């Protein structure tokens, strides 16, 4: 057995017949890429160890709905052990990778354990980047994992409480100004969801406030919101968000921030108590691996996702520079990671054979309660049709039948009752020991 640590194994029967040694595949990270890879290896002839500090796979496209009081955390998080229930060849290990040595083929974990591998799949994804602006990092709220989504939910609810007892108009305006930096899908979807939260909840439940006191400002550095979408979809989105009361400002960069607010590139000061940062991610590569400077420090891989210079280490998803059929670096989006995960599982099981061909299935973003934009190849959707497509796709890709059912019911409830059910401030501290 190639496992370095035998303590997670049941004792082997003494008289076991000599079986050919099973290859040990370590999958680092159980996001979209790692999950698809490990699922494709389930029930096969290799032993799989999935390493992730979080004990769940997170459906990140719906994080903004947790942040905006619509979904519960558990509805978009599937326990990893539950996903691999009944798979005798897949083990889960809650740990963090502190070093990856592709020469000796060892993964060092924070707990001190060292895993030896025959094959490793690095699927560590990406984390928020603040482009080195320390003041922004200090004052920004992220929206990239469950902890951040809950922090944001708590923070926004508490700003409404603070505003409801604020002494003067300027303080109240600052507390009720919500600044969202980054006009990609996350920024657009959160801005739309927050605008609906304000419209549905504030008039009914905050008699001290008026919905007109609330300002939602969406800042995008480029020419358009949703810059990766077709121009007409960007225009549509901008118009719909504006109609919903969102102050959309394109060609606007944040250059500084402090406790009072943010400063824009033209020197404008925007007093705000809330800066949500969705303006960029960087690859989250394990310590000790070489990365590609020209491709945003993602790990350089060949066209079979093998890390350059190695024979048993793959890297997929946001952490690696996977390339399309014309040599273009593929975007840091979940379909790329999922397809690469399944492709690499095939490579591991059947050897180098096929060529990876990325199938662009299109992109979608929801704007409001019954509005979304989407494009699949040359086709674009807007409005209600886009929203129905968005709904179907998101339910389809959500892991777990129960989650699908529950999220669908919650959406149905919300669309009929116009309610935001999960608006409570909860804090779950760390364990005591």
- Residue 311 CB, nearest distance to its own copies (Å)? 28
Question: From CA 101, how far away is CA 288, in angstroms rounded?
Answer: 7
Counting contacts by CB under 8 A, is residue 267 touching its own copies? no
Check if 158 is active-site. Answer: no
Q: Does 426 bind its own copies (CB under 8 A)?
A: yes
Residue 165 corresponds to which tokens in the numbers above? 């007892």
Q: Does 94 bind its own copies (CB under 8 A)?
A: yes
- Interaction of residue 419 with its own copies, rule CB under 8 A: yes
Minimum distance, C-beta of residue 68 to its own copies, in the bound complex (Å): 13
111 interacts with its own copies by CB under 8 A: yes
* DSSP β-ladder status, 261-264 and 254-258: antiparallel
Closest separation in Å from C-beta 139 to its own copies = 7
3-state secondary structure 265-305: CCCCEEECCEEEECCCEEECCCCCCCCEHHHCCEECECCCC
Question: With CB under 8 A as the contact rule, which of the stretches 5-13, 215-223, 332-340, 362-370 interacts with its own copies?
Answer: 5-13
Of 29, 31, 61, 73, the one binding its own copies (CB under 8 A) is: 73
For the chain, the C-alpha Rg in angstroms (whole number) is: 23
Q: Which of 74, 72, 32, 23 is nearest to 52 (CA)?
A: 32
Helix (H, G, I), strand (E, B) or coil at 123: coil
Kindly state the number of chain residues that form the binding site for its own copies, as judged by CB under 8 A. 67
Q: How far is the CB of 165 from its own copies (least distance, A)?
A: 5
The contacts of residue 375 (CB under 8 Å, 6+ apart) are 229, 230, 233, 362, 363, 381
Query: Does residue 431 belong to the site contacting its own copies (CB under 8 A)?
Result: yes
Touching its own copies, residues 193-222 (CB under 8 A): 204-208
> According to the binding rule CB under 8 A, does residue 295 interact with its own copies?
no
Per CB under 8 A, 425 contacts its own copies: yes
Q: Which stretch binds its own copies (CB under 8 A): 54-62, 237-245, 315-323, 348-356?
A: 54-62
Q: CB 350 → its own copies: shortest distance, Å?
A: 26
Judged on CB neighbours under 10 Å (0-12, 13-18, 19+), 354 is exposed
Taking CB under 8 A as the rule, does residue 5 contact its own copies? yes
Which C-beta is closer to its own copies: that of 279 or that of 332? 279
Least distance from its own copies to the Cβ atom of residue 380, Å: 36
Which of the residues 164 through 193 are near its own copies (CB under 8 A)? Answer: 164-167
Question: Which whole-number Å values give the CA distances from 209 to 160, 202, 244, 293, 315, in the listed order?
Answer: 8, 7, 18, 49, 50
Binding piece for its own copies, criterion CB under 8 A, among 136-144, 183-191, 225-233, 382-390: 136-144
Q: Compute CA distances 358 → 283, 331, 345, whole Å.
A: 20, 11, 15
In the complex, least distance from residue 327 CB atom to its own copies, rounded to whole angstroms: 40
Minimal distance in Å, beta carbon 15 to its own copies? 21
The CA distance from 388 to 386, in Å, is 6
Give CA–CA dist 304/347, Å, rounded: 8
Pick 13 or 207: Cβ nearer its own copies:
207
**Other residues' Cβ atoms within 10 Å of the Cβ of residue 395:** 14
The conformation of residue 364, written as its DSSP 8-state character, comes to E
Q: Cβ-count burial of 412 within 10 angstroms (0-12 exposed, 13-18 middle, 19+ buried)?
A: exposed
C-alpha torsion angle, residues 70, 72, 73, 79 (rounded to 10)? -130
Is residue 148 within 8 A of residue 341, CB to CB? The reply is no
430 interacts with its own copies by CB under 8 A: yes
Taking CB under 8 A as the rule, does residue 416 contact its own copies? no
22 near its own copies, rule: CB under 8 A: no
Catalytic residue among 9, 138, 148, 189: 189
* DSSP strand pairing (56-58 vs 77-79): antiparallel
Contacting residue, 77, 191, 200, 348, with its own copies by CB under 8 A = 77
**Residue 45 dihedral angles phi and psi, to the nearest 5°:** -85, 5
- Contact residue for its own copies among 3, 42, 44, 74 (CB under 8 A): 74
Q: Is 91 in the site for its own copies (CB under 8 A)?
A: yes
Q: Is 235 in the site for its own copies (CB under 8 A)?
A: no
- Of the candidate residues 79, 280, 324, 362, the single one contacting its own copies (CB under 8 A): 79
What residues make contact with its own copies under the rule CB under 8 A? Answer: 5, 7-10, 54-56, 72-75, 77, 79, 81-82, 84-86, 88, 91, 93-95, 111, 113, 138-141, 146-147, 150-151, 154-155, 157-158, 161, 164-167, 204-208, 259, 273, 402, 413, 417, 419, 421-433
Active site residues: 189
């Amino acid at each position: 057995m190639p496992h370095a640590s035998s303590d997670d194994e049941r004792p082997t029967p003494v008289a076991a017949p000599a079986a050919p040694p099973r290859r040990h595949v370590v999958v680092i990270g159980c996001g979209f890429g790692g999950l698809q890879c490990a699922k494709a290896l389930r029930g096969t002839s290799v032993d799989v160890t999935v390493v992730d500090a979080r004990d769940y796979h997170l459906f990140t496209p719906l994080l903004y709905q947790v942040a905006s009081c619509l979904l519960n955390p558990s509805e978009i998080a599937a326990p990893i052990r539950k996903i691999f229930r009944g798979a005798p060849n897949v083990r889960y290990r809650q740990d963090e990778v502190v070093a990856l040595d592709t020469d000796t083929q060892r993964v060092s974990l924070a707990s001190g354990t060292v895993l030896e591998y025959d094959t490793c799949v690095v699927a560590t994804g990406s984390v928020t980047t603040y482009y080195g602006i320390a003041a922004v990092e200090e004052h920004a709220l992220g929206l990239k994992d469950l902890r951040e989504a809950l922090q944001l939910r708590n923070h926004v609810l508490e700003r409404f409480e603070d505003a409801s007892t604020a002494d003067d108009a300027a303080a109240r305006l600052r507390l009720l100004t919500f600044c969202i930096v980054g006009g990609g899908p996350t920024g657009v979807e959160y801005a739309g969801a927050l605008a609906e939260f304000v419209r549905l909840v504030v008039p009914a439940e905050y008699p001290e406030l008026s919905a007109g006191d609330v300002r939602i400002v969406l800042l995008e550095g480029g020419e358009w919101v949703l810059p990766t979408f077709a121009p007409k979809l960007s225009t549509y989105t901008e118009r719909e968000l504006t109609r919903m009361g969102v102050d959309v400002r394109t060609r606007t960069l944040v250059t500084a921030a402090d406790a009072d607010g943010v400063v824009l590139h033209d020197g404008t000061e925007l007093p705000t108590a809330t800066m949500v940062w969705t303006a960029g991610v960087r690859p989250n590569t394990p310590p000790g691996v070489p990365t590609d400077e020209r491709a945003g420090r993602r790990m350089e891989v060949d066209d079979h996702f093998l890390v350059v210079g190695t024979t048993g280490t793959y890297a997929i998803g946001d952490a690696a520079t996977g390339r399309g059929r014309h040599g273009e670096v593929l975007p840091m989006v979940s379909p790329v990671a999922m397809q690469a995960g399944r492709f690499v599982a095939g490579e591991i099981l059947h050897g180098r054979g096929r060529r990876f061909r990325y199938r662009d299935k299109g992109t979608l973003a929801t704007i409001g309660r019954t509005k979304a934009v989407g494009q699949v190849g040359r086709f674009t959707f807007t409005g209600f049709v886009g929203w129905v497509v968005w709904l179907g796709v998101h339910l389809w890709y959500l892991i777990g039948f129960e989650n699908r059912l529950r999220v669908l019911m919650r959406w149905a409830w919300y669309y009929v009752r116009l309610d935001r059910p999960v608006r409570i401030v909860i804090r779950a501290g760390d364990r005591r020991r």
